[in-house]
Structure 1
Amino acid sequence: MPITEVEGRRLTLSNLDRVLWPRTGTTKGELLHYYATVADVLLPYVRGRAASFVRTPDGVEGQRFFQKRPPAGTPDWVTVAEELRHSGEPMEQVQVNDLATLIWAGNLACVEIHVHQWPAGAPERADRLVLDLDPGEGRTVVDCCEVALRLRERLAEDGIEVWAKTSGAKGLHLLAAVRRATPKSTSAYAKRVAQELQARHPGQVVSTMAKAHRAGRVFIDWSQNAQRKTTAAPYTVRAQSAPGVSAPISWDEVAAARDPAELAFTIRDVPTRIAERGDLLAGLLDPDRAATLPG
């Protein structure tokens, strides 16, 4: 097995030619190469936050599981912090704070990285707000774009700036930087806005959790702000049939989208997008652009 050194850490890499995405023939080595290439833009969004992983050791068509606790054999140089579960029980979780940890996790086939909307150790200090737009049966990401534009306008009324990224699956994620907020206050605000939009556009939008109500409409999932929830991180790969990425997109792209294929980005596309356009989500990291929630 090859041994490599990453930022002074020795890593043993295994099964680099193992195919994780049978449909496209994409290997674990290609996954690691992608994460190494985009690390500079990915890490600021996950650093200092408890991470959960979707692991697919036998590929995305095989067994998968959601990993919260540190895997067996986690090196002592990987930052592990104790977090409180929703039940109040303490639980250790990994923080992906550096390139070495990112590559170590990728080598374990931790394909997806999910994080909370608050920093590790501060579960009552939400610094992000997220709205997850999920197209119901008969709808696509293009319909999510229409709803995203309405949400952008609505949040702007409250002085909240919003950035967009693809979910890497079917929908969109809208993100805003907030200050002096809690998971409870961000959840309440996101729910209120989602309900407002449903009231204004009942044939287009739904804000209730019941899947039976989502057909033909876009579900605005406001619950991702809750303390117990996590969201796919910016630039994470997704364990779908193809190696899609949760990729930041511009509002021009949102407004212009007419075909779902226009917003389907893979690990082959995203490094070029970054080289040509930079990090389209960078404003989310600027503390001067964080907003205070109304009320």
Structure 2
Amino acid sequence: MAEQPEVVHAEVGGRRLRLTHLEKVLYPETGWTKAEAVHYYASVAPKLLPHLAGRPASFLRFPEGVQGQRFWAKRVPGGSPGWLSTLEVPHREGAFGQVVVADLPTLVWAANLGALELHVPQWQGDPDHHDRLVIDLDPGPGMTVVECCAVALAAGRLLAADGLTAFAKTSGSKGLHLLVPLHPAPERAAVEYARQLAGQLRAAAPGLVVDRMEKSLRRGRIFVDWSQNTSAKTTVAPYSLRAGERPTVSTPVPWSAVESCRRPADLEFTPEQVLARPEDPMAELTAPRLRGRLPGA
């Protein structure tokens, strides 16, 4: 790659951005640079932005790369452009503004900050009106995404029996997520439904599934983390980068890929592989017609 100047002034979506240190290597194992991260986010934006719309973003930032300091950034950073969309969000320490990644300039601005991972909650605008349910499948020691797929298929059948449509994506790390579009439901109803679903999965396969928080119980099991549906928690967004040793992506996958997964490598995707795929298995997640109602909500 040709040497990059330390500062590049670029016009993105009608906004003037100052991009810095694009030559910086963020993933030393592969030599993947900040320029490549910015390029990835700019290229995947049409598929990614609908999943960020209206949701306060939590950025996991790596200014010096994945082997350097990492920190969560939730508050709007000082010196941020005045054109950013923001949302006042209640927190334990009091309400404060968070960035809503509403457009391409904001996405590129975040990538320039070293925000490799983009995490969002299961609600837009109002923390007590959840428009999405997440089934978070986390493999314990000795387990992989292959076993997560078996649990995902069982979860998909339970969700379908309740009239709910589930979309699958890799976590970009070791696990699997199912996202379910909802008619807005209270936090309490979303958490309770997810908790009961986790209990059903554990009862059907007690040797495979655990639904309790204690880490000591997770060896040789898939943990169904129903608590991810609380309003205060976030999930990595579809198409977000992940900050492992190599650049990978939390990648939407069709159910056929979940069914046919036989080894972890079957569901590992690089940014380049994601950009080369013409299809978007999660394109309809935000379609209003697919929103389901939680039983009893």
| C-alpha distance in 2 between matches for 1:59 and 1:168 | 17
Match of 1:40 in 2: 46
Q: Does 1:224 align with 2:228?
A: yes
- Residue 101 of structure 1 aligns with an amino acid whose one-letter code is T
- In the alignment, structure 1 residue 123 sits paired with structure 2 residue 127: yes
CA distance in 2, matches of 1:104, 1:170: 28
Q: TM-score, normalised by structure 1?
A: 0.97
Deviations 1:231-260 (A, max 9, x none): 000100011111110000000000000010
Paired with 1:54 and 1:3, the residues of 2 have a C-alpha distance of: 24
Show the counterpart of 1:107.
112
Residues 61-76 of structure 1: pairs in structure 2 closer than 5 A: 61-76=67-82
Q: Which residue of 2 aligns with 1:81?
A: 87
* AA in 2 matched with 1:266: T
User: What is the deviation of 1:89?
Assistant: 1.8
Map 1:1-295 to 2 at 5 A.
1-85=7-91, 87=92, 89-120=94-125, 122-273=126-277, 275=278, 277=279, 279-295=280-296
AA at the equivalent of 1:17: E
- Counterpart CA distance in 2 for 1:180 and 1:88 is 26
Question: What residue ranges of structure 2 are gaps of 5+ in the alignment?
Answer: 1-6
Q: Deviations over 1:94-115 (max 9, x none)?
A: 0100000000000010001011
State the Cα distance separating 1:93 from its structure 2 match.
0.3
Matched residues in 2 for 1:68 and 1:109: separation?
A: 14
Instruction: Quote the Cα distance in structure 2 between the aligned partners of 1:88 and 1:28.
Output: 33
> Residue 157 and residue 88 in structure 1: after superposition, are their counterparts in 2 closer, same or farther (change >3 A)?
farther
Identity percentage of aligned residues: 50
Give secondary structure in 1 for the equivalent of 2:65.
coil
Deviation at 1:88, TM superposition (A): 7.3
User: Which secondary structure state, in structure 1, belongs to the residue aligned with residue 272 of structure 2?
Assistant: coil
TM (norm. structure 2) is 0.96
More divergent stretch after superposition (56-65 vs 179-188): 179-188
**SS where residue 97 of structure 1 aligns?**
coil
Q: Secondary structure at the match of 2:172?
A: coil
**Could you tell me how far 1:83 is from its partner in structure 2?**
1.0
1 CA distance for matches of 2:182 and 2:87? 24
Distance in structure 1 (CA, Å) of the matches to 2:212 and 2:96:
31
Q: Which runs of 5+ in 1 are unaligned?
A: none
Equivalents in 1 of 2:96, 2:212: separation in Å?
Answer: 31
**DSSP-derived class of the 2:265 partner:** helix
* Over 6 Å off, 4+ runs: none
> Counterparts of 1:169 and 1:183 in 2: how far apart (Å)?
27
SS in 1 for 2:212: coil
Given residue 51 of structure 2, which amino acid in structure 1 is its aligned partner?
Answer: Y
**Aligned counterparts of 1:28 and 1:238: Cα–Cα separation in 2:** 14
Which amino acid in 2 is paired with 1:210?
E
CA RMSD of aligned residues (A): 0.9
Instruction: Classify the secondary structure of the residue corresponding to 1:139.
Output: coil
The CA distance in 2 between the partners of 1:265 and 1:75, in whole Å, is 33
Q: Distance in 1 between matches of 2:265 and 2:64?
A: 27
Residue 180 (structure 1) shift: 3.6
